[in-house]
Structure formats: structure tokens, C-alpha cells
């Protein structure tokens, strides 16, 4: 994803949000978006919370469900336990 696409996507999100009457929107800063974080924050996005879904890539680890095929655990804060 290049900087222009990031800019275009976020501009479209802002326009559509207003059209739909949304007071805010949420953007998950995944690895795809991470290198564009400064640009995202310059548009007044801010960190609101961390989320760790209760699933794990190793079903033998405990009662969590295994990740579906093709899914990965990508939250760097929780990656060591996934």
C-alpha cells in the first residue's frame, strides 16, 4: 500500500462517514497500515485501545480456538503468546 492509496482511502472514509451520519470511525493499525501511522495520526486518528482476540495458532495451548486457515496473529504486543 503506498502513501497515495492511504490518503485516498482515508479521505473516502471521512466523506462516507459524514454521509452515513457516523460521528467517528475506527481503523485497525495492522502491519499493512503501520508504516503509514504518522500520516494516519496527522488526520487526527488516535490510539484508542488494544484488542487481543481469544484465539491462538496453537490449539494445544489451551481452550482457545485455533486460527482459521490463512489467518495470522498480527498484534505485536501479544505476538509472543500467540
Residues 55-66: tens digit of each pLDDT: 556 666 666 666
Surface-to-core class of residue 55, CB atoms within 10 Å of its CB (0-12 exposed, 13-18 middle, 19+ buried): middle
Q: What is the pLDDT of residue 33?
A: 87
| Per-residue model confidence (pLDDT) at position 32 | 85
69, three cell numbers: 486457515
Domain residue extents for the chain? 3-42, 51-82
Say what the pLDDT of residue 81 is. Answer: 44
Residues of the chain with pLDDT under 50: 78-82
Please give the grid coordinates belonging to residue 10: 482515508
pTM: 0.54
- How confident is the model at residue 19, as a pLDDT? 93
Amino acid at each position: 500500500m503506498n502513501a497515495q492509496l492511504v490518503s485516498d482511502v482515508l479521505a473516502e472514509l471521512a466523506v462516507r462517514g459524514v454521509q452515513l451520519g457516523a460521528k467517528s470511525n475506527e481503523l485497525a493499525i495492522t502491519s499493512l497500515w503501520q508504516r503509514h501511522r504518522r500520516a494516519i495520526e496527522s488526520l487526527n486518528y488516535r490510539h484508542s485501545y488494544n484488542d487481543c482476540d481469544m484465539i491462538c495458532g496453537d490449539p494445544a495451548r489451551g481452550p482457545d480456538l485455533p486460527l482459521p486457515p490463512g489467518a495470522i496473529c498480527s498484534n505485536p504486543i501479544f505476538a509472543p503468546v500467540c
